Amino acid sequence: MKILIIVFEKLNKYRGMGDFMRGNFDFKGNKGFRMIYIFERLSNGELVKKANLAEELCVSEKSIQRDIQDLRMYLAETRFYEEEIKINYDKTRKGYHLNKREKERFTNKEILVLSKILLESRVFRKNEIETLLKKLLVQTTPIEKRKLEAVIKYNKMEPVNENKFDLMDLIWELSTFILDKKLISFTYIQDGERKELNEIKPISIIFSDDYFFLTAVHDGNATTLENYQIDKIKNIKLT
CA–CA separation, 2 and 179 (whole Å): 37
Report the half-sphere exposure of 15 (CA within 13 A, side-chain side).
Answer: 9
The string of DSSP letters for 82-134 reads GS-EEEEEETTTTEEEEEE-GGGS--HHHHHHHHHHHHHH--S-HHHHHHHHH
Q: In whole angstroms, what is the distance from residue 42 CA to residue 77 CA?
A: 18
167-238 adopts what CATH topology? SH3 type barrels. (2.30.30)
What is the rounded CA–CA span in Å between residue 85 and residue 74? 10
Query: For each successive 10 residues of the chain (239 residues), what is the average pLDDT?
Result: 46 45 63 86 86 90 91 74 72 85 67 81 77 81 75 63 70 92 93 91 89 86 83 90
Per-residue pLDDT, 208: 84
pTM above 0.85, yes or no: no
Burial class (CB in 10 A: 0-12, 13-18, 19+), 158: exposed
Pick among 3.40.50.2300, 1.10.10.10, 3.40.50.300, 3.40.190.150: CATH of 2-103: 1.10.10.10
pLDDT value of position 7:
47
**Closest by CA position to 41, among listed 57, 63, 26, 25:** 57
Domain ranges, ordered by start, for the chain: 2-103, 106-154, 167-238
Specify the pLDDT at position 1.
44
DSSP state of 48: B
Residue 85 pairs in a beta bridge with 100
* DSSP state letters, 136-190: HHTTS-HHHHHHHHHHHHHT----S---SS-HHHHHHHHHHHHHHT--EEEEEEE
